[in-house]
């Protein structure tokens, strides 16, 4: 397991937290404040609030996703394209929230007005960068920054979890309202994807840090005693692979529709079309 990263008493703010979590992961680069224009060859930043207020931007993203699928597979089924954009968008607030909670026990603003992202310029058009425009965050009483003007202190870990869920649900609900009229998905499908994004985010945070079990524990904590709009508690559970090695797997709450591509593979082994609800 990597050694704990040092926390400077002179640098206790959200920028320092973001710097530390960026050292723990390479999936999406996270930055603070208003993002600068992309370098040549990079895609432009998009504010989440603007995208949700003008869903034509989501349609444009689906066009980019369709072009990528055509290049990769020679076809781009509507449901596969729509499912890709659905899950990639929800990754933005979910990944940011789970990283900062797992590593820092901090919860940033997840308001669409405070988050921006840009998608990868090459390959799969998923988010490659996330920017946070608000330096405020919630934390626990023993956080080194608990006395700062940017910190909102809650009295227990359970309260911090509740706040994370509430902030994420508020963002996801705005996405569901904007996206659902443009695709052939019901609310259950979209909230299943929102549940997946949190569960996978915590699991990934643990794996990236060399302690998969800690990520599983935090996923269970985050989705414990959850009811609507989340579609389940964490579905992570121990499993033995084909070589007899014990590890972790999960049942997805939403389908990626990759089985619609003419590869003849059928649904994933963890798809809700294959595995009944736990």
Domain CATH for 67 = 1.10.510
Structural domain including 133 reads 14-188
Q: Is residue 96 part of a domain?
A: yes
Which is it for the CA torsion 107, 5, 117, 216, positive or negative?
negative
Nearest C-alpha neighbor of 120 from the set 29, 57, 33, 195: 29
- Residues 229-243 have a mean pLDDT of 89
Q: Is residue 70 part of a domain?
A: yes
- Look up residue 216 and give its two tokens: 């599983």
> pTM for this structure?
0.91
Q: Is residue 207 part of a domain?
A: no
State yes or no: cis peptide before 229, omega within 30 of 0. yes
Quickly state the pLDDT bin for 37 (edges 50, 70, 90). Answer: low
SS3 84: helix
**What is the pLDDT of the chain when averaged over all its residues?**
90
SS3 124: coil
Q: Is residue 156 part of a domain?
A: yes
Q: Is residue 211 part of a domain?
A: no
With beta carbons less than 8 A apart as the criterion, state whether 267 and 235 touch.
no
- Residues 224-249 have a mean pLDDT of 87
Q: Is residue 46 part of a domain?
A: yes
Q: Is residue 252 part of a domain?
A: no
User: What's the pLDDT at 11?
Assistant: 44
Quickly state the pLDDT bin for 252 (edges 50, 70, 90). Answer: very high
What is the percentage of the chain residues whose pLDDT exceeds 70? 91
User: What's the pLDDT at 278?
Assistant: 56
* Rounded-to-integer distance, Cα 83 and Cα 237, Å: 24
- Residues 136-143 have a mean pLDDT of 96
* Rounded-to-integer distance, Cα 24 and Cα 100, Å: 11
Q: Is residue 202 part of a domain?
A: no
Phi and psi angles of residue 248, each rounded to the nearest 5 degrees, phi first:
-120, 145
Nearest C-alpha neighbor of 115 from the set 222, 30, 3, 176: 30
Number of domains in the chain: 1
Between 96 and 11, where is the model more confident?
Answer: 96
């Amino acid at each position: 397991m990597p050694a704990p990263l040092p926390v400077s008493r002179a640098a206790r703010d959200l920028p320092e937290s973001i710097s530390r979590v960026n050292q723990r992961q390479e999936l999406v680069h996270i930055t603070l404040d208003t993002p600068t224009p992309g370098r040549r060859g990079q895609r432009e930043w998009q504010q989440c609030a603007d995208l949700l207020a003008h869903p034509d931007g989501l349609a444009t993203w689906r066009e980019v996703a369709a072009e990528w699928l055509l290049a990769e597979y020679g076809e781009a089924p509507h449901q596969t394209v729509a499912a890709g954009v659905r899950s990639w968008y929800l990754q933005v607030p979910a990944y940011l929230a789970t990283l900062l909670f797992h590593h820092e026990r901090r919860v940033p603003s997840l308001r669409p007005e405070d988050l921006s992202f840009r998608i990868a310029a090459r390959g799969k058009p998923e988010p490659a960068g996330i920017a946070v425009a608000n330096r405020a965050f919630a934390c626990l009483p023993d956080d080194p920054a608990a006395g700062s003007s940017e910190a909102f202190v809650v009295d227990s870990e359970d309260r911090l979890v509740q706040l994370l869920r509430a902030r994420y649900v508020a963002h996801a609900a705005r996405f569901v309202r904007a996206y659902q009229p443009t695709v052939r998905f019901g609310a259950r499908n979209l909230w299943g994807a929102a549940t997946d994004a949190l569960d996978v985010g915590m699991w990934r945070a643990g794996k990236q840090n060399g302690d998969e079990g800690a990520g599983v524990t935090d996923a269970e904590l985050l989705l414990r005693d959850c009811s609507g709009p989340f579609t389940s508690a964490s579905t992570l559970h121990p499993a033995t692979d084909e070589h007899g090695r014990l590890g972790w797997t999960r049942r997805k709450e939403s389908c990626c529709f990759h089985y619609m591509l003419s590869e003849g593979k059928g649904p994933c082994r963890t798809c809700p079309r294959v595995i009944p609800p736990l």
